[in-house]
Amino acid sequence: MEPFPNPLPLFPALPPPVTLFPILPILAHAQWIRQDALILSAIMSTLTEPIVAQIASQHTSYDAWHALEQTFASQSKARVVHLRSQLSNIRKGSQTTTNYFYSVKKITDELAIVGQTLLCDDVITYVLTGLGHDFDSLVTTKITFAPRGRGSFRGRGHGNYHGGSSTGNSTFYHIGRG
């Protein structure tokens, strides 16, 4: 698709400030208009025709970008809600443990792409919750970080790993066989 040239002059959203010399504001304003037209053209050239039709009436790059943001904001929010729901409901079931971990990683990576990075502790909780009772022998200890020094951990017995909640600020860790 070819870039859409923007006819000059445009109505700028944020013109440059006025200076003491009368000719400088005119030159700066003209340069700003040219740069804005190039940016608007670049934005338009990267979009598909249906999307271009939604922002074709915008006269500045700022207005076009704002219109795009408004168009896609609700879709992004819906996507985040959907991904979080998937993560909350994911279960290992009959898939291999490796595939289960990859499924969780895929969802957390997609959340990170849309700016919703999860804490490691939250991801661990989702993983352990979805493992099921078949893995009780692997998920045996709830470990709490003890502020006694670097890397100190203190065991706290058994927790409810499968959909329940825990009290305090403890975190579940996967204890595997080495």
Instruction: Please indicate, yes or no, whether residues 102 and 49 belong to a single structural domain of this protein.
Output: no
CB 166 within 8 A of CB 160: yes
Residue 108: what pLDDT? 94
CA 142 to chain centre: 30
Distances in Å between the Cα of 63 and the Cα atoms of 32, 44, 130, 133 are 15, 12, 45, 54
Instruction: Please indicate, yes or no, whether residues 30 and 62 belong to a single structural domain of this protein.
Output: yes
Amino acid, res. 102:
Y
Closest by CA position to 36, among listed 60, 55, 69: 60
Q: Per mean pLDDT, which range of 106-110, 128-132, 134-138 is the poorest?
A: 134-138
Report the chain's mean pLDDT, rounded to a whole number: 74
- Per the structure, the count of domains in the chain is 2
* 82, part of any domain: no
Instruction: Please indicate, yes or no, whether residues 177 and 120 belong to a single structural domain of this protein.
Output: yes
* 8, part of any domain: no
pLDDT at 146 over 90: no
Give the pLDDT band (50/70/90) at residue 16. Answer: low
Domain that holds residue 28: 14-76
Instruction: Please indicate, yes or no, whether residues 57 and 100 belong to a single structural domain of this protein.
Output: no
For 58, phi and psi rounded to 5 degrees? Answer: -80, 140
CB 173 within 8 A of CB 141: yes
Encode pLDDT of 45-70 as tens digits. Answer: 999 999 998 888 999 999 999 999 88
Share of the chain above pLDDT 70, in %: 64
* 6, part of any domain: no
Residue 124: what pLDDT? 87
* 3, part of any domain: no
Residue 172: what pLDDT? 42
Residue 17: what pLDDT? 60
| 48's tokens | 């598909």
Instruction: Please indicate, yes or no, whether residues 117 and 177 belong to a single structural domain of this protein.
Output: yes
Residue 161: what pLDDT? 46
Instruction: Please indicate, yes or no, whether residues 144 and 109 belong to a single structural domain of this protein.
Output: yes
pTM over 0.75: no
pLDDT at 177 over 50: no
CB 91 within 8 A of CB 132: yes
